[in-house]
């Protein structure tokens, strides 16, 4: 459950005129060196009296640079000497991934109107009363207040016994999520999914962590279509072509296991299927960079790189978090490019849970203070795992 300025390099107009003074030639090569370009100069004769610079198409590993031609009047030349045309071809290696991200972002805005069946706007249904939990089931401490708990500043690093308990909680969460996915079909209400999830969790002797957390009224989050996250189950029936994220967290033996997945309901359009596939791949790529000593910012970099290849946007408002005996704690896991300091530690557990959209990453929240939708009404997709940092990598705990 969720809690750089780009510098666009543009070459100044480059000109090499055969009769320019040595001073201007020196200045020209200073500019070339300063911009860290590797340039090659080719000479070609022509009867024209102006310099025209052309840019050659670049490969995927280079940045395309163009400059407009400069025109010189023959009157600016001294004596009766004639002028020649020089052609400069510049092959420039990309200095960083930021320029490519900026280019992709511009193209993404143009492609944001991809053709898919626009779903009717999400409307809130009737929310049924909170389901009871047997007295014998241990409950998390935040139930003593309806206020949203403060984010714990402590990173959750476990000993061998804690790791065993984390594995058990996360494995249960994964089984519940898989079961919930089997219930997704047209005409089923999200309230029915909530009831089934609630029953399975308490039968396992666990507590559904979202229930009562900051006043949340249900045992699971169900986010349909344009809902980014924290959707409250209600009487709305799922429709053919819907997508739904189900976010399950269980509290078992004093430890929380947290996971989510986006499911297809009936016949879903191909553009939505692609968004779902890429979002899950983003999660996998974020996990792949995790290990003892790795910096947290690598997660956002890797997720952003993959999402931008397909023109998708990464939501910045909602983040991953530490999880264990406390539901939400440091470290905050940013899914977009960032410079947040900090490194991972062996034995640490946290979630990675990127949300991708086809268009805007801006959002609006309903008066219930939980349900959050994309501002443009476009679809949003999320996947989430709880992971354990090891010496050489990361163990995905929310698998079964």
Half-sphere exposure of 243 (CA within 13 A, CB side): 28
Tokens standing for 399? 């698998």
Q: Tell whether residue 192 is among the known ligand binding residues.
A: no
Query: Mean of the pLDDT values across residues 116-132?
Result: 89
pLDDT of residue 103: 67
Is this prediction's pTM over 0.85? Answer: no
CATH class of the structural domain 141-396: alpha beta
Chain segment 307-321, per-residue pLDDT in tens: 999 999 999 999 999
Q: Is the pLDDT of residue 37 over 70?
A: no
The CA distance from 177 to 245, in Å, is 10
Tokens standing for 79? 């004596």
pLDDT tier for residue 120 given thresholds of 50, 70 and 90: confident
- Residue 367 makes CB contacts below 8 A (sequence gap 6+) with none
Residue 145: other Cβ atoms inside 10 A? 11
The CA distance from 296 to 300, in Å, is 8
Chain segment 165-196, per-residue pLDDT in tens: 999 999 999 999 999 999 999 999 999 999 99
Q: Tell whether residue 321 is among the known ligand binding residues.
A: yes
Query: Mean of the pLDDT values across residues 344-363?
Result: 97
Give the Å distances, CA to CA, from 336 to 95, 256, 299: 20, 25, 8
Contact 304, 312 (CB under 8 A): no
Contact 348, 322 (CB under 8 A): yes
Q: Tell whether residue 376 is among the known ligand binding residues.
A: no
Q: Tell whether residue 230 is among the known ligand binding residues.
A: yes
- Higher per-residue confidence, 1 vs 264: 264
Q: Tell whether residue 52 is among the known ligand binding residues.
A: no
Q: Is the pLDDT of residue 278 over 90?
A: yes
- Higher per-residue confidence, 373 vs 47: 373
Residue 84: other Cβ atoms inside 10 A? 16
- Residue 242 makes CB contacts below 8 A (sequence gap 6+) with 119, 186, 224, 225, 265, 266, 268
Contact 286, 354 (CB under 8 A): yes
- Report the length, in residues, of the chain: 400
Contact 313, 356 (CB under 8 A): yes
Chain segment 40-86, per-residue pLDDT in tens: 433 433 433 333 333 333 333 333 333 333 333 333 334 444 444 44
Give Cα 62 distance to the centre of its chain.
25
3-class SS of residue 12: coil
Cα 184–189–192 angle (5° rounding)? Answer: 85
* Residue ranges in the chain assigned as alpha helix (H): 22-34, 98-111, 160-182, 190-203, 270-288, 297-309
Phi, psi of 90 (to 5 degrees): -115, 125
Give the Å distances, CA to CA, from 81 to 6, 45, 77, 78: 46, 15, 8, 7
pLDDT of residue 247: 98
Q: Is the pLDDT of residue 10 over 70?
A: no
pLDDT of residue 62: 34
Q: Tell whether residue 247 is among the known ligand binding residues.
A: yes
Chain segment 79-119, per-residue pLDDT in tens: 444 444 444 444 444 456 676 776 666 565 545 445 566 77
pLDDT tier for residue 28 given thresholds of 50, 70 and 90: low
Q: Tell whether residue 136 is among the known ligand binding residues.
A: no
Contact 358, 314 (CB under 8 A): no
Chain segment 209-264, per-residue pLDDT in tens: 999 999 999 999 999 999 999 999 999 999 999 999 999 999 999 999 999 999 99
What are the residue ranges spanned by the domains of the chain?
A: 22-95, 141-396
> What is the rounded average pLDDT for all residues in the chain?
82
Q: Is the pLDDT of residue 291 over 50?
A: yes
- Higher per-residue confidence, 299 vs 4: 299
């Amino acid at each position: 459950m969720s809690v750089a300025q780009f510098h666009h390099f543009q070459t100044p107009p480059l000109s090499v005129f055969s009769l320019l003074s040595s001073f201007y030639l020196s200045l020209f090569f200073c500019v070339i060196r300063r911009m860290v370009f590797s340039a090659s100069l080719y000479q070609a004769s022509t009867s024209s009296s102006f310099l025209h610079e052309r840019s050659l198409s670049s490969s995927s590993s280079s940045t395309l640079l163009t400059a407009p031609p400069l025109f010189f009047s023959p009157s600016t030349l001294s004596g009766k000497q004639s002028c020649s045309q020089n052609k400069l071809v510049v092959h420039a290696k990309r200095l960083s991934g930021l320029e490519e991200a900026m280019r992709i972002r511009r193209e993404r805005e143009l492609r944001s109107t991809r053709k898919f069946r626009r779903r009717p706007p999400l409307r809130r249904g009737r929310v049924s009363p909170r389901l009871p939990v047997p007295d014998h089931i241990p409950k998390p401490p935040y139930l003593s207040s309806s206020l949203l708990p403060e984010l714990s500043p402590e990173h959750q690093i476990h000993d061998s016994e804690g790791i065993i308990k984390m594995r058990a909680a996360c494995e249960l969460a994964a089984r519940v999520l898989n079961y919930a996915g089997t219930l997704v079909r047209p005409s089923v209400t999200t309230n029915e999914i909530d009831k089934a999830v609630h029953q399975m969790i308490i039968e396992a002797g666990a507590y559904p962590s979202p229930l009562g957390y900051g006043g949340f009224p249900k045992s699971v989050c169900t986010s349909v279509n344009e809902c980014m996250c924290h959707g409250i189950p209600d009487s709305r029936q799922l429709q053919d072509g819907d997508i739904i994220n189900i976010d399950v967290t269980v509290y078992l033996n004093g430890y929380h296991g947290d996971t989510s997945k986006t499911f297809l309901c009936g016949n879903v359009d191909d553009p939505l299927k692609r968004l779902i596939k890429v979002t899950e791949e983003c999660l996998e790529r974020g996990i792949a960079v995790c290990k003892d000593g790795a910096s947290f910012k690598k997660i956002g970099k890797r997720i952003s790189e993959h999402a931008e290849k397909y023109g998708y946007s990464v939501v910045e408002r909602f983040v991953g978090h530490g999880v264990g005996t406390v539901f939400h704690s440091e470290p905050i896991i940013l899914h977009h490019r960032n410079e947040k300091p900090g490194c991972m530690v062996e034995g640490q557990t946290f979630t990675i849970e990127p949300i991708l959209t086809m268009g805007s990453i801006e959002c609006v929240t309903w008066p219930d203070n939980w349900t959050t939708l994309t501002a443009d009404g476009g679809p949003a997709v999320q996947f989430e795992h709880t992971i354990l940092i090891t010496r050489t990598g990361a163990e995905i705990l929310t698998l079964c």
